[in-house]
Structure 1
Amino acid sequence: MLLNPGLGSRLRLRQTEDMTQVRPAPNADAARWLLRADVEWWDLVRYGPPGFEVYVRIAFGHGVEGVDSQGEDRAVRVALATLATCTATPSSGYAAIWEGWGGDPPAPEAPRVDIPNREMLLFTGPVDVLSDAPALAWYGAALGYQDPHLVWPEDQAWCLACEVDEEIEFTVGCSVEASQALARALPGAVRRVRYGEPAPMYLDQV
């Protein structure tokens, strides 16, 4: 039962608006900066590209007070909302999504990003909508809470990397100022790391 009779219609309206804002990129050119011969694919999908001032790992929320691992306030959504204030192009971002995450229905038509072992499809939209890009692109609605796998704004001010098998944390490469904003938005969930350093992936490894 909806406690607020207008809530359902507002959610449907937002869902429709978000769906129309997430669309296939015109081509894969916006992802070329990710593909470097000197970067291992495993580091790319876990850490994004090298070269940012700071890298932080952010807990999905398991056991972190105040951080939701799923739902409307899950960590990736909060991180992207925060990062939208740390770019000059918040209305224009990109999400690369592993083509195999969704099962049925088949993957939608979109430009391909050729990452070894993680072939991805490229979508575009406002940064603050891209947290729901997988479900919007595959199903046309924000069903469930599958996070996107690589997200960045058009000006490449930062990159969020959320490898499909990660259960504990995801990574953001960014400026010092952006990392501080993330720490304020997600207190207790953000830790600074070196690019590519080993990090546990599964909950049973902790």
Structure 2
Amino acid sequence: MTVTLCCDVSAAAWLDSTDSSWGKLVCLGPDGFERYARLRFIPDPTQTGQREGDVAGDEDRGTETEQLRTAVDVLSAHTTTVDDCYFALWDGWGVTPAGGPARPTWQLPDRDYFLFQGPLSALGDEDQWREALRTSDARWWLPVPAFVWPADRAWCLTKDVDPHYAGIGASGAAIEDLLVRSGLDLVLSDPADTPPHYS
């Protein structure tokens, strides 16, 4: 199974109908999950006005895509539809499916996305995404999906373009498994709180 563009975006309707604020939806995911956590790509800011560029990178963490791949490897044990998942790709990355619609297929306030369907293993698989986006450009890089969720909606992973972290809503058991997974900088997050952010 490979990644394919969804022209029918009804699979995303559950995200449209959430009572979550826009900021919570794109940063942590929709309401209704037992627990939420943030996967930090860099540490949280330690002072007001701090910029991401002021933080020294940790090469041991791996790229954002590598960290997300590790997280979904854990989450794959917490879904019954590992081969049937959805990926929403923000249109602001400047990549569009060749031969597909000229406009994004799914919209939220302030963000437009192309919705794709495929196996969870597609996350981070450049070959699958090159085929889905019909590009052979050697300079091309793989954008991080803004939303990833399995068809059974057992969990939802979000990565908006602005925050320094990805949000994860899932069962308590799934979050516990993520918290003990070596190599992930994961912290619990209360959806009622505003997560730390850089200027």
Length-normalised TM-score, structure 2 = 0.77
> Are 1:69 and 2:50 counterparts?
no
Q: Which residue of 2 aligns with 1:46?
A: 27
Aligned-partner Cα distance in 2 for 1:92–1:58: 23
Q: Which residue type is aligned with residue 5 of structure 2?
A: P
Aligned-partner Cα distance in 1 for 2:174–2:147: 17
Give identity over the alignment, percent.
Answer: 32
Could you say what the CA RMSD is over the residues aligned between the two structures, in angstroms? 2.8
Q: CA deviation at 1:131?
A: 3.8
- Structure 1 residue matching 2:92: 3-state secondary structure: coil
Partners of 1:67 and 1:186 within 8 A in 2: no
Partners of 1:47 and 1:196 within 8 A in 2: no
- Structure 2 residue matching 1:39: 3-state secondary structure: coil
Q: Which residue of 2 aligns with 1:96?
A: 88
Q: Which residue of 1 aligns with 2:41?
A: 60
Q: Which residue of 2 aligns with 1:14?
A: none
Q: Which residue of 2 aligns with 1:156?
A: 153
Aligned-partner Cα distance in 2 for 1:82–1:31: 23
- Structure 1 residue matching 2:179: 3-state secondary structure: helix
Q: CA 1:176/1:64 → structure 2, altered by over 3 Å: closer, same or farther?
A: farther
Q: Which residue of 1 aligns with 2:76?
A: 84
- Structure 1 residue matching 2:169: 3-state secondary structure: strand
Length-normalised TM-score, structure 1 = 0.75
Q: CA deviation at 1:152?
A: 0.1
Moved more, 37-46 or 189-198: 37-46
Q: Which has the higher helix share?
A: 1
Which structure 2 residues correspond to residues 1-206 of structure 1 after superposition, within 5 A? 21-36=2-17, 38-61=19-42, 66-70=60-64, 74-102=66-94, 106=96, 108=98, 109=100, 112-132=105-125, 135-136=129-130, 137-138=132-133, 140=135, 143-166=140-163, 168-187=164-183, 189-195=185-191, 197-202=193-198, 205=199
Partners of 2:19 and 2:31 within 8 A in 1: no
Aligned-partner Cα distance in 2 for 1:97–1:52: 22
Considering Cα pairs closer than 8 Å and 6+ residues apart, tell me whether 1 or 2 has the greater RCO.
2
Ranges of 4+ aligned residues in structure 1 off by more than 6 Å: none
Q: Which residue type is aligned with residue 41 of structure 1?
A: W
